[in-house]
Chains A and B, each alone.
Chain A
């Protein structure tokens, strides 16, 4: 049965994580539809139809969908969901917010954060902060799934022949209202898709010192990440947090600076191809997963690295 993918976007551009969800969807069924709900988001629909495997884009374009509130999106999705064997989204904060709400309304379970598809009803997902991988089989008529996008490559782009069909329903509700948002804009690559990530922890000591990391990141064209401790201490915003309860990344190169390597942090980065750790404490657990470890003071090493690159 056809698979529906919920597009992740900001009304202007399609987030490439959607391409990874489409890749996962293609492992469940060859026929894929994409839902683009938002306002003034034709360009997003246009981008979605470019992916290979997508045969139809459903476009719900109305001001009520601007902020993707689950209280508005779930009733929009409910009537069309019976056409699908599975509905997938990224395991992003918006996917996590929306999908369980739909699942409950459909009276089915949800399979969170899948990292592999074994068959149309068998999936692999990490549990216990990634310390175990569970293979689970779902007997639900509609499978509601969130996808760990770092585990799937972005789908290929094709001819872009998919039809765009508009959904005219307009859902009004007042129980939940959008008030405001404060989104960080950065010139650097997105954390989730970056090839190189430079991450800082409590060892950085202050927000000002994070600039040392920024200089290194600029030299490498890297995204910046952080441990929870660095976020809690206010050195950086929460959108940079890597870990069990933050973002999951799997870049080619992950450089952990002044991060001890708690289980919860490792959960977010241990699938990186090459891991580098820079830490004064030779016993820090981060060295147990690092391909290259440097036991040294970050305040000495960071300027040296910057000069060498």
Chain B
């Protein structure tokens, strides 16, 4: 079984971004960048399937600027066998990402594509579902458990009301939720080994995909801030304030 894992370079999850002074976007100067946390979970899941002898090859792929190769190296240090870097600068909309990934799926014919459920910069939660649609594959989104049985993927999903299990014919698309696994840390020897693993460099036009955009960002603004209120000294004072000042309890 061959697994394709699309990953994204994003602002590190521990950083609180600031809106840029010109309101055109957020300020990304000198900000720490990392692999999207949900993508790390996707890589980890693929590696576990390989360790169980269910997967034979793991290919990481990213669409992004030159520096996004750093995240491909991370993916390979964690266990991906090789990588594809589709060079594209500037923001790319989820549909275009999905089309580029569709071209990679055609080329590589993976049995399983594991993506993150959401990129933590754009908070889109779209690419996996779009890719599944374009490839006419079934989708198991927000997975917290994944098993391969009789040529089908059994995906346990986090849904608003609780949990749901679906069975998908392979090839299939799975997107990861936080509970799926806890990604390992790359060990130094693996980081060294990853430097020798191959990264294939492709340009979007070579895949026959025109990167279009239909969504224009007019402005980006800071949400209305909240300021710290008051400290109360006891449960009694808290109840009194909630009753008589905020009037949110009877």
List residues of chain A with CB under 8 Å of any chain B CB.
10, 67, 69-71, 74, 92-94, 96-105, 107-113, 122, 126-140, 174-184, 192, 196, 220, 228, 231-232, 237-239, 244-245, 247, 252-253, 263-264, 270, 273-276, 287-296, 301, 304-305, 308-309
Contacts and interface: CB of A to CB of B under 8 A. Distances in A.
B45 interface: no
B226 interface: yes
Contacts of A263: 13-14, 16
Contacts of A111: 215
A129 B231 contact: no
> Which secondary structure dominates where chain B touches chain A?
mixed
Interface string B93-106: 11100100000000
B139 A294 contact: no
Contact of B130 (A101, A237, A245): A101
30 contacts: A74-B133, A93-B158, A101-B129, A103-B95, A104-B133, A112-B123, A131-B18, A133-B222, A134-B217, A135-B218, A138-B216, A176-B167, A192-B160, A196-B248, A238-B163, A238-B177, A238-B179, A252-B248, A253-B242, A253-B249, A270-B226, A275-B226, A289-B226, A291-B229, A292-B230, A293-B230, A294-B238, A296-B235, A301-B235, A305-B235
Nearest to B26: A132
B120 interface: yes
B218 A292 contact: no
A264 B12 CA distance: 12
Contacts, number: 259
Contacts of A290: 228-229
Given A176-B168, A239-B160, A293-B229, A231 B236 contact: no
Contacts of B230: 291-293
A112 B12 CA distance: 21
Contact of B223 (A130, A182, A231, A244): A130
Contacts of B94: 100, 109-110
B138 A176 contact: yes
A293 B246 CA distance: 13
Interface in B207-237: 214-223, 226-236
A87 to B, nearest CB: 14
A301 B226 CA distance: 25
Contacts of A10: 161
B53 interface: no
Contacts of B221: 132-133, 135
Given A109-B93, A129-B123, A138 B218 contact: no
| Leading 3 A-B pairs by shortest Cβ distance | A100-B129, A291-B229, A176-B138
A120 B154 CA distance: 40
Given A109-B93, A238-B144, A126 B117 contact: no
A92 B125 CA distance: 11
B137 A292 contact: no
B90 interface: no
B241 A264 contact: no
A276 B249 CA distance: 12
Nearest to B14: A263
A105 B226 contact: no
Given A238-B179, A273-B248, A289 B228 contact: yes
A245 B118 contact: yes
Interface string B13-27: 110111100000010
A74 B219 CA distance: 32
Nearest to A69: B166
B90 to A, nearest CB: 15
B122 A127 contact: yes
Given A101-B132, A134-B217, A308-B239, A228 B178 contact: yes
A95 to B, nearest CB: 10
B32 to A, nearest CB: 14
Given A109-B93, A109-B94, A179-B166, A131 B139 contact: no
Contact of A107 (B17, B95, B157, B161): B95
Contacts of B51: none
- For B131, B178, B248, which residue has the most chain A Cβ atoms within 10 angstroms? B248
B238 to A, nearest CB: 6
